[in-house]
Structure 1
């Protein structure tokens, strides 16, 4: 089932690699000036995809949020796999769709995709 938006996490020092790859994967990226730790932008695809980057969202990890279901990926996990394959860096994401009404039990369950494969872990943000 396609998620309504996609969110992944990359270490801060790998975001520039993602931004270099995104135009190839989705289309030109236009970013606003940073405001504090966050930066908003737009991927000029058809349809356009709003993008938000939040530095240090979880320690040294940066949140990359595609605020649209119109991405090449159906789920966060699909996106994490594609980004890891393209960049070779560890990517983290939630194990599945979650919202506050689901309760706290699964809120800290995450997936990491790296050179060792894929594994679930508890990430207490």
Structure 2
């Protein structure tokens, strides 16, 4: 089932490289508008939020639409890794608060070694 939005975390990713990838994957990006710590743009018709160093060295990329080429976070993570060559982390599926705290720490990392489910405590 298609997720209503997508969020992935990119390790040490360069914003310019991410912008180039978004241009290719989603359509031409508008210039980034900084709002506090975050940056926002439109990639094609998709509102995008970039939060540098959201968790340590990890940058958050949030796509606020279900109109992307990817069904879910993992599909986007795979594409981002293939294009950028940096480790990507994402939730293993949509997470709801009702699922409890333990499930909130379950993540999938995508890197040169493949895909692996991990426990990542982000707080």
Give TM-score scaled by structure 2 length: 0.92
- For the residue of structure 2 that corresponds to 1:105, the secondary structure is helix
SS in 1 for 2:82: helix
Deviation at 1:36, TM superposition (A): 2.7
Q: Name the counterpart of 2:115.
A: 118
* Total equivalences in the alignment: 122
TM-score (norm 1): 0.91
Pairwise CA RMSD of aligned residues?
A: 1.3
Aligned in 2, Cα 1:65/1:39: closer, same or farther, shift over 3 Å? same
| Deviation readout 1:28-51 (Å, 9 max, x if unpaired) | 01134322320111112xxx1111
SS state at 1:70 partner:
coil
State how far apart, in whole Å, the 2-side matches of 1:56 and 1:88 are.
18
CA separation in 1, counterparts of 2:13 and 2:108? 20
- Is the contact between residue 26 and residue 46 of structure 2 (CA under 8 Å) also seen in structure 1? no
CA contact (8 A) 2:12 2:86 kept: no
Deviates more, 1:97-106 or 1:64-73: 97-106
Superposition map of 1:59-98 within 5 A: 59-98=56-95
CA distance in 1, matches of 2:49, 2:14: 16
Provide the residue aligned with 2:41 in structure 1: 41
SS of 2:102's equivalent in the other structure is: coil
Deviations 1:101-123 (A, max 9, x none): 22212000011100000011111
Whole-Å separation in 1 of the counterparts to 2:97 and 2:39: 25
Unaligned runs of 5+ in 2: none
